[in-house]
Chains A and B, each alone.
Chain A
């Protein structure tokens, strides 16, 4: 049998005496007249009685043992915290040293790259000055005109060599020697033919 809906939630509190006086009387009156609710209330009271009968035993020594155990745990915790206090600065300084080392390495690589670019530039100027024909190779006054991207050393050198070889005011021996050293076989043969025609 199910209890009446309107009393279902009140009866548990009635069983523990937790209703106000008015509700307590109201439920008591209802229970006198309703068998289903009376059975319901009896079953709840029985459950509460079972719970109250169930006692737990705590050993007398439990409190003292607990204090000892907790103190041991807290000591370990303090020890770990002390270790951590040492570990944090040690770790931080190691990390900082590592960071500085990596940064230095990266920085020196960048500097050496810049140095190589600068060396290339200077080398290219040296090539021109070796040739001695700046007027023929037009470079802007702005040194940025010579950059890593638009600069082709081979081409410029080749042009400079041809200018030396084709310069008629120079002695033929010098022009011949430059051609021998710097040209491949086909180019050399062509130049020799050209020089032969000039002489003849």
Chain B
């Protein structure tokens, strides 16, 4: 963890350290949201550019990790909202019909899961990723999303229910998982 004083100065060395310390978490957060490595890389870069621009505004109210994570979550939510708009106007389509031909069972289930995740409302998708993949507590998720712990829990419950419904529509059987 960097010292607060070094973070305030937007010098190359402290910024580079900040990137190296947080890149893995930030990249994996975005990698869960998008289909390709390049898209996740773009979002990671966008996050760290925002971090650089706002280094002087960083205060001691939270840890650097929380502060960077909050920027990443906002960047991710904005991305998901843009994607929803594209889906709504038909530029991108997420077909819920999973193609099982030529795929191993796990491959098929993973593909179905990715498709189903993309169909979730942006906040539900973000909560599922933060809780299940990133292992964050609901209290932290609420804080990161400018919301409450309870709101995060409600979003999580709804997300799981929706995923289950979509899995059923795609014909994924839970017994074999």
Contact = CB atoms under 8 A, between A and B. Distances in A.
Q: Do A and B come from one complex?
A: yes
Interface of A: 8-10, 12-13, 15-16, 18, 40, 42-44, 46-54, 56, 58, 62-64, 66-67, 69-71, 73-74
A73 B45 contact: yes
A71 B163 contact: no
B113 interface: yes
Contacts of B161: 8, 12
B49 interface: yes
B164 A43 contact: yes
B19 A67 contact: yes
A47 B173 CA distance: 10
A8 B44 CA distance: 36
B131 A66 contact: no
Nearest to B44: A66
Contacts of B93: none
Contacts of B174: 42-43, 46-47
B154 to A, nearest CB: 7
Contacts of A69: 45
Nearest to A3: B161
A10 to B, nearest CB: 8
B150 to A, nearest CB: 11
Contacts, number: 91
21 contacts: A8-B161, A9-B158, A13-B157, A40-B164, A42-B174, A44-B164, A48-B160, A50-B113, A51-B128, A52-B132, A54-B113, A56-B28, A58-B27, A63-B19, A66-B41, A66-B45, A66-B48, A67-B20, A70-B48, A70-B49, A73-B45
B138 interface: yes
A13 B20 contact: no
A49 B28 CA distance: 18
Interface string B148-177: 000001101110110110010000001001
Contact of B106 (A9, A16, A53, A73): A53
Contact of A58 (B12, B28, B49, B158): B28
Interface string B89-100: 000000000000
B70 interface: no
B156 A12 contact: yes
Instruction: Give the most central of B106, B138, B154, B177: most A CB within 10 Å.
Output: B177
Nearest to A71: B12
Contacts of A53: 106, 110
B16 A49 contact: no
Interface in B51-86: 52
B109 interface: yes
Contacts of A15: 160
A70 B52 CA distance: 10
Contact of A46 (B15, B138, B177): B177
Contact of A13 (B23, B113, B156): B156
Contacts of B28: 56, 58
A191 to B, nearest CB: 91
A47 B45 contact: no
Identify which of A13, A40, A62, A66 gathers the most chain B CB atoms within 10 Å of its CB: A66
B115 interface: no
Contacts of A42: 174
A166 to B, nearest CB: 92
